[in-house]
Amino acid sequence: MTARPLADSPPHPLDEQLVTRVEAALAEYLAERRRYTETVHHSFTDAADALTGFVLGGGKRIRPTFAWWGWRGAGGQPDGALAEQVLRAVSALELVQASALVHDDLIDASDTRRGRPTVHVAYAARHRDRDWLGTADRFGLAAAVLIGDLALVWADDLLHSAELPEPVRERVRPVWAAMRTDLVGGQLLDVWGQVSGDDTAATALRVNRFKTAAYTVERPLQLGAALAGAPAELVDAYSRFGADIGVAFQLRDDMLGVFGDPEVTGKPAGDDLREGKRTLLMALAMKAARERGDGATLTLLTEALGDPGLDADGVDRVREALCELGTSDVLEQRIEQLTESALAALAGAEVAEPAATRLPELAHAATRRLA
């Protein structure tokens, strides 16, 4: 078994600068929107503060980073006239991500995110602490839905506030629309897979493709290409590169969901199992157990999946089964294959430097991370 966590690479200086600028743009925008919420009611301002804390409280800024380098690879100039507006546009991706995470945590009934209480848990606790009317959990649910919605609304507002020329806006609109639709469709497919019990590899890969890959790498790259007016050949290469790296990114996430260190990932080990996620890792494991005629292992896996009371010993037993079945090694190989095919797609395209060097580095960082 080789499912050991791989060391995270040190931050690239150019990306550190980019992350700092993205976070500054987000902080400025969120502060501006907070001032408006004060004209509505203090409860709305509290929600804005919760969203701000969530957005600025962690994250690698992967999506704006891929979008920025997609723009640079298509000829975008960091010292050009549109650079600051492009930065503002790609920063909006972090608010899309915030919306997805807040809603995902609620759907999965997750207690923690980045080592802190999730939004619905924090709001339920606030309800209990203040002895408000009604049910604490329902209030937490309602608040999380609305704060996630607010993040998505403000993502649109931030994107459209970028003073881009109308031809650029026309190129960006269909990419942005497709990304948001893919995200919701993938999330719904994920929920459907859990309740229907569909544990096939095909469905797991389809969820990965639309729930994560599209809005994590592929669409951000396409957004960068649209901002720069890239030719169709480069857009196609970005799409193939982004789809493969995005799926590989999610497969790494699936591995971390079972084998990850909670102190690094910020989530309890085995949460994906407790939430009943039909990941490719579990789909391949159950298929392997069936093919072997190993009823005991198949029962272990199916009973663990979706068991909210699964304890640390139960998680360890699942880990051992995944290792014994060889599924973890198979997934590691799949991640490597996807990474190689993605890099091959990019190698055949005319990508401007330094993006031609940086995008492959980002691909490796995204698929070999610890959290």
pLDDT tens digits for range 350-361: 999 999 999 999
In the block, tokens 């691909």 appear at 363
* Mean pLDDT over each residue of the chain, to the nearest integer: 92
For residue 249, give every residue at least 6 positions away whose Cβ sits within 8 Å of its Cβ, in sequence order, or none.
62, 212, 213, 216, 217, 366, 367
Q: How confident is the model at residue 9 (pLDDT cuts 50, 70, 90)?
A: low
Contact, 91 vs 84, CB < 8 A? no
Q: How confident is the model at residue 5 (pLDDT cuts 50, 70, 90)?
A: very low
Q: How confident is the model at residue 349 (pLDDT cuts 50, 70, 90)?
A: very high
Buried b (16+ CB within 10 A) or exposed e, 42-57: eebbebbebbbebbee
Task: Give the N- to C-terminal CA distance of the chain in Å, as an integer.
Answer: 20
* pLDDT given at position 266: 74
Side chain identity at residue 158, one-letter code = L
* pLDDT given at position 267: 75
Q: How many residues does the chain have?
A: 371
* pLDDT given at position 8: 52
Q: Domain coordinates of the chain in residue numbers?
A: 13-367
pLDDT tens digits for range 78-88: 998 899 999 99
Q: Using a cut of 0.85, tell me whether the model's pTM lies above it.
A: yes
Q: What is the rounded average pLDDT of the residues 288-317? A: 94
Q: How confident is the model at residue 6 (pLDDT cuts 50, 70, 90)?
A: very low
State the burial class of residue 146 (Cβ atoms within 10 Å of its Cβ: 0-12, 13-18, 19+): middle
The CATH code that applies to domain 13-367 is 1.10.600.10
Contact, 90 vs 220, CB < 8 A? yes
Q: Alpha-carbon distance 5 to 271, whole Å?
A: 17
Phi-psi region of 352 (alpha: psi -120 to 50; beta: other; left: phi over 0): beta
For residue 315, give the nearest of 326, 324, 305 by alpha carbon: 305
DSSP symbols for 132-198:
-SS-HHHHHHHHHHHHHHHHHHHHHHHHHHS---HHHHHHHHHHHHHHHHHHHHHHHHHHHHHHHT-
Q: Alpha-carbon distance 322 to 98, whole Å?
A: 32
Q: What is the rounded average pLDDT of the residues 312-328? A: 94
* pLDDT given at position 197: 82
Q: Alpha-carbon distance 212 to 219, whole Å?
A: 10
Buried b (16+ CB within 10 A) or exposed e, 233-269: ebbbbbbbbbbbbbbbbbbbbbbbbbbbeeeebebeb
pLDDT tens digits for range 142-192: 999 999 999 999 999 999 999 999 999 999 999 999 999 999 999 999 888
